[in-house]
Amino acid sequence: MHYILMDLEWNQPLSHLSAQYRRYGKQLMFDIIQIGAVKLDQNMRMLGSFNQFVQPGLYRKLHPRISRITGILQEDLYTAPGFEDAFRRFMAWCGDDFALITWGCDDSTVFTQNLNYYLNDETQMPPVYDLQRLFGAQTGSGSNRAGLSNAMKHYGISFSAEHPFHCAVDDAYYTALVMQRMQEPEKVLEYRQTPKELVPVKKTKDEQSDDLRFTSIMTAINSKPAQQPNCPVCGKKLTVPEGYAPFRDGVWRALADCPDHGLIFVDLFLGKTLDGKSRVKRRASLSEQQSKAYVKTKHLQWAQKVAAFKETAV
């Protein structure tokens, strides 16, 4: 049996408020644009690699942030095969007897959704196993999901410019190096993944709202929920680098950046709970604009706004 260490890169819609996303987002939230993998034998020897760009079939325009992070260009995808052909090529390269392994469950979740969307549920996703969970069990970090770079540091694996991060085949290469250094790596087969349900972003700008326990904005601003808001799409904890400033109509706003979904607006405002009590509400919404220039300008503007507010508050 062979161990296949797989990593994916995927595209997202330019706007989650677009008609295209509103119509198809529930079926396909992300379009896979690169499949990368490394093959190990039972003795953890590296046998080869697989690298395939994939032409997106739904979200054809490459999101600028995705291009910036991955280095993939629109022209890289023009002559690439579609998902169905790319999937067939990948399965042929894997062979007949293999275990598919990823770092975490995001890749298997996105892969499953692409498979269901493009192949109309005609092909079952092969079993996928989670090396990240085995690493957590062996190092005592438990449910704390360690990043791949942290696992590399743990085993003294150095980053190489020849293998840049956020390239699917190179991330798979680093995952393979981690697996080679683990004790009893075959125990990864005890950690089979269950793909998560991908929940589409809401169609309105108010994408996530919750009540905090505070009764005043000024008390809530310095709290952990305000300083570490969650991405409304994936739930990841974020930070607010500039801080909060008055926005409008009693709303205080901060900016945050999700590494996967881009610029987030975080608002605090007073509202009423279901039982009529006054509480601070926190609302996180995904920016419709996600270009690099827009995000950079927005952060610069917000830093100036927060600084000006602090000067007047002294």
How many angstroms separate the Cα of 124 from the Cα of each of 85, 115, 219? 15, 8, 51
The pLDDT of residue 204: 47
Amino acid at 19: A
Confidence of residue 212 (pLDDT cuts 50, 70, 90): confident
pLDDT digits (tens, 9 = 90+) for 222-255: 899 899 998 888 878 899 999 999 998 889 999 9
Q: Which tokens sit at 65?
A: 């942030």
Each domain of the chain, given as residue ranges in start order, spans 2-190, 208-313
- Which residues 6+ apart lie within 8 Å of 245 measured at CB? 252, 253, 254, 302, 305, 306, 308, 309
Distance of CA 28 to the CA centre of its chain: 15
Its pTM stands at 0.68
Q: State which fold the 2-190 domain adopts.
A: Nucleotidyltransferase; domain 5 (3.30.420)
For residue 93, pLDDT over 90 is answered with yes
Q: Where are the alpha helices (DSSP H) in 161-291?
A: 168-181, 217-221, 224-227
Averaged pLDDT score across all residues of the chain:
89
The pLDDT of residue 16: 73
Helix axis angle for 168-181 and 131-139, nearest 10°, is 40
For residue 201, pLDDT over 60 is answered with no
Average of per-residue pLDDT across 52-73? 93
